[in-house]
Structure 1
């Protein structure tokens, strides 16, 4: 079995000084949420084998913070193709991964994640707030077998569900 973790980047700082959308940083709330979500995976013992992140600053920083605070011993790959990709491109990125990787975390953006979730699980659209995580389980042995409509939604976790318990971070 393979599993995908869609991890939407943390809340960004719209008031920061940046020239391009790609360079927009995380807000303080976004940093805190990334820490909490990283720790959440550590606590439930579901550490990804591989992290593939958009190169957008807010996504890359979310991945780095979650990896550090969650003590994930996972390789982090930055992939510019995730920024503004289509669901077909995201499917292609995943289908090219090493079959030794069973649990892959993709750190990226809306609305692509909600659209991808809807298509991969053949379900209704789910709005994903910033820093939300979605685990999707797949009945395949190899990533190249990945197809829309074959995933099973395992869980969705939003940072607001965890934040009251992690106020000292």
Structure 2
């Protein structure tokens, strides 16, 4: 069995006048959410062997906050441009390239790809309230953990997982939930 944790980048700043979406930084709320999720991950005892991540600025900045707070300083991220705005199919290809010795991989990236990846990996058998929550939305800075019924990352395929954990920033601090209109 392998374990996959998925971290969506934290809230980014739309007010920042960057030329490319790739270069959009986090906003203050995003930094607070990344820290809160990092604290949560540390309390869970999240221990990963490998981190694979999009090199987009908002993902890099999310991990810059998350990794030390989560206690994962000894794991150097592998930056994979394929993850930037990738589909679920592309994300599965990225996972298939993970080192066989890694038992627990953290993938950090973007929606809709991460949300679709969860929905593809976890069968819709009507018995997973966590999957139902993801189907509604996998918000910024959310962290999900999936147990995969595989022995080698090259075997990752749809419907091979069980969603065992989901945490959204608003679950930790209501002020980090959706903004009111």
**1:114 and 1:126 in contact (8 A); partners too:** no
Relative to the length of structure 2, the TM-score reads: 0.86
Deviation at 1:126?
A: 4.1
Aligned residue in 2 for 1:138: 148
Give the distance between the partners of 1:6 and 1:77, measured in 2 at CA: 14
Unaligned runs of 5+ in 1: 165-169
Give the distance between the partners of 1:42 and 1:126, measured in 2 at CA: 26
Write the deviation string for residues 42-98 of structure 1: whole angstroms up to 9, x where unpaired: 111112211111111001111121001212121211111100212111101101111
Unaligned runs of 5+ in 2: 125-131, 175-181
**1:49 and 1:75 in contact (8 A); partners too:** no
Instruction: Give the alignment's Cα RMSD to 1 decimal.
Output: 1.5
Q: Which runs of 4+ in 1 moved over 4 A?
A: none
Give the distance between the partners of 2:100 and 2:141, measured in 1 at CA: 27
Deviation at 1:160?
A: 1.2
Does residue 68 of structure 1 match 2:78?
no
Aligned residue in 2 for 1:53: 53
Aligned residue in 1 for 2:85: 84
Aligned residue in 2 for 1:114: 115
Range 23-32 or range 75-84, more displaced? 75-84
**2:87 and 2:116 in contact (8 A); partners too:** no
Query: What secondary structure does 1:105 align onto?
Result: strand
Paired residues, number: 165
**1:51 and 1:63 in contact (8 A); partners too:** no
**2:8 and 2:111 in contact (8 A); partners too:** yes
Which of the residues 147, 164, 174 maps onto 1:154? 164
Relative to the length of structure 1, the TM-score reads: 0.92
Aligned residue in 2 for 1:93: 94
